[in-house]
Amino acid sequence: MMDNGKIADHFEELADLMEFRSENPFRVRAYRNGSKAIRDLGESVTAILTDPSRKLDAVPGIGKGLVDQTRVLVETGRLPQLEKLRQEVPEIVLLMARIPGLGAKKAVVLHQELKLETLDDLRRACEQDVVKQLKGFAAKTQQVILEGLEIAEAAAERVYWANGDQLAQAIAVHMRQCDAITRMEWAGSYRRGRETVGDLDLLVVASDRQLAMDQFESFPQRSQTMMRGDTKVSIRVGKAFQVDLRLVEEGEFGAALQYFTGSQAHNVHVRRIAKQNGLKVNEYGVFRIDDQSRVAGASEEEVYQAIGLPWISPELREDRGELTGDLVSPEDLLEISQLRGDLHMHTTATDGEATIREMADAAIERGLTYIAITDHSQRVSMAMGLDPKRLREQWRSIDAIRPEYEGRLEILKGIECDILEKGGMDLPDDCLEEADWVLASIHYGQKQSRDQITDRLLGALENPHVDCIAHPTGRLLNRRRPYEVDMEVVMDCAKRQGKLMELNANPARLDLNEVHLAAAKRRGIPIVISTDAHSIVGLDVMRYGVLQARRGGLVAANVANTLDWPEMKRRWLSAD
C-alpha cells in the first residue's frame, strides 16, 4: 500500500524533472501543488480513491488529471511518465545541475562523457584531474566544481529548527548593537516554526542602511559574503548555511514580513483572495488594482485586514485551511506556560544522566507539578533496559522519596515499554498493571512491512494497561524516515480505545508531525507533549514540542498534560 508521503514524493520528483526540461510551467506548478496537497492531507489518499462516495479532486490543489495518475500509481506502484523522464534525465544530472557554478548544460556533458552515477564519482573525477581534460572545461572550472560540491552537500542538509534558533538568537544579539536599526524581525520557515530550516531571513528597518549592513557582515561566525546590494546582504555561516538581511521601509515592513514569512502556498492563496477583492498584495504593500493606490503595508495585521482576514499566526501559514474558515485564533494556540507535567523521561537506571531526585528537582524549577519516570524496558538492552524485578525496585524507590515532594511535585511510576517485533509488550501485564503511566514504543524491527508495524501498534493500543504511544512514527529528522505505518488506522484505534498519542518534543524527533497532530485533533485524540529527556537540560526541549503543536493548530483543550495529574487521570485514564 502506498502512503501519502510516497505518492507526494513521486509527483514532486516529476515536477523537478519537468522543470529541468523547461516544460510547461503551469503543469509543473500543478504537480507541485498536488504533491503538497497530498502530503498535507490528514487521511489516506488510497482510502479516498477506494470509497465510491468520495472524490479526490474535491481536495483543493488536486485536479482530475492528477487523480487519474494517482490512481495508476496506487494500483500499480508505477508512474509511467515519471519513469520515462528518469531515463531522459538521470537523477545525477539534476544533482550536478544544482552545484553552484556548474549549471545544467555542463552537468549533461559530464554525465555523457564520464558516465557518472553519484556525486562521489564527480568528486573523484575532479580530484584525479579528469574533468579539466574535457572540452569546454578547465582547471578553474574543475576547482569551482570541487568547491561547489562541498557547498551543495552542506546546503542540502536543513538544520533542526532548534539549531536555527540558536543561530538566529546569536545574530539578533549582534545586530541589536547597531543603533541605526529601529525594527527587526525574522521571517521565512524559521518564523513559521518548521521542523527544519534551510536558511534564515532577517528583515530590518534602519536609519542608516550602510551601518546596518556593515554590522551584519561583521557577525563573527560569517565565513563569506555572497552578495551585497543596496537593500540586501547574503552571508554564509560555517560552510554553507545562508543568512539574508533585507532592508525595508517602515511603511512597507508589515507587507515584507508577511511576504517573506510565507509559505509560498499561503501567499499564493492570499494573493488570490486579494484579487477577488480588487486588490494586489506584494512585498511592498496592498494596492488597489484600479488606481494602484496603497491601502496597507505597515503591519501584518493591516495587510490581512485589508483583504478581509484576521491576522494569522505564522505557524499556521501553510495553506492547510487557515484561509478558508478552519482558523485557530492566535491567542488560543497552545502556550508552554499551560503545560503542567512531563510524562516521558529517563534516569541513570537506564540511559539517562540524572537520578530520579535530580530530574524531580529540575522539573520543579521549570514549574511542573508532575512527572513520570519512564525508563526503558528490558528489550532495549543497549540502554540497560529494566526487567520486572529492576522496574519494581525503581518503583519502590519512587514510593520512598514521594513524601519529600508532597505538595510540590507528583512523581509517577512509569515505563517506556517496547512493543516486540513479534507483537505484544516487552513486560508482562501483571507488571504493567502496577504502573501509574505506561508508554508503548517501537525501537526494533522498524524495517518491517507496513502491515506488521501497524499490527504491532494496534496490539499495544488494545492492551488495557497501555496509556499512550510514544514517538508514534519512529522518525529521526535528517537521519531516519518514519517507519511504514498506516497512521489513519492507528489513530482510529487510539480513538476507539480511548488512548493518547505522544508529541515527542526532542528536536530530532518532533513526532507526531503537524499533519498528524491536526488529524488527531479532528478525531478528538488527546495529545501528550513530552520531552523524552535523558538529562536535566533535556527537560528544556519542551518548547520545541509546543511550537510543533501550534503548527498542528492545537489549543490547551487538545493537550492532556495541560491538566493537573488528578484531572488528567480522571478525564483520560478513567478506564484504568
Domains of the chain with bracketed CATH: 4-88 (1.10.150.110), 91-155 (1.10.150.20), 159-247 (3.30.460.10), 254-327 (3.30.210.10), 336-572 (3.20.20.140)
User: Could you report the per-residue pLDDT of 544-559, keeping only the tens digit for each?
Assistant: 999 999 999 999 999 9
pLDDT band of 347, cuts 50, 70, 90 = very high
Task: Tell me the C-alpha to C-alpha distance, in Å, between residue 302 and each of 282, 327, 413.
Answer: 13, 18, 51
**How many other C-beta atoms are found inside a 10 Å radius of the C-beta of residue 527?**
25
In this prediction, residues 388-416 reach a mean pLDDT of: 97
SS3 content of the chain, % helix, strand, coil (to 5): 50, 15, 35
Report d(CA 271, CA 279) in Å as an integer. 8
- Specify the pLDDT at position 576: 47
In this prediction, residues 66-71 reach a mean pLDDT of: 88
User: Could you report the per-residue pLDDT of 229-250, keeping only the tens digit for each?
Assistant: 999 999 988 767 899 999 999 9
- Specify the pLDDT at position 564: 96
Long-range (24+ apart) CB contacts under 8 A made by 238-241 are 238/154, 239/150, 239/151, 239/154, 240/150, 240/151, 240/152, 240/154, 240/155, 241/154, 241/155, 241/159, 241/167, 241/199, 241/200
- Specify the pLDDT at position 427: 97
Q: Which of 17-31, 120-134, 173-187, 416-430 has the lowest mean pLDDT?
A: 17-31
Query: What average pLDDT is seen over the chain?
Result: 92
Cβ(455)–Cβ(424) below 8 Å: no
Report d(CA 284, CA 249) in Å as an integer. 9
Name the one residue in this structure whose C-alpha cell is 542608516.
208
- Specify the pLDDT at position 286: 97
Instruction: Using the predicted structure, report yes or no on whether residue 151 has a pLDDT greater than 70.
Output: no
In this prediction, residues 308-313 reach a mean pLDDT of: 95
- Specify the pLDDT at position 150: 72
- Specify the pLDDT at position 557: 97
pLDDT band of 574, cuts 50, 70, 90 = low
Q: What percent of the chain has pLDDT over 70?
A: 98
- Specify the pLDDT at position 90: 82
Instruction: Using the predicted structure, report yes or no on whether residue 379 has a pLDDT greater than 90.
Output: yes
SS3 category, 552: coil
Orientation angle between helical segments 119-127 and 104-114, nearest 10 degrees: 80
pLDDT band of 157, cuts 50, 70, 90 = low
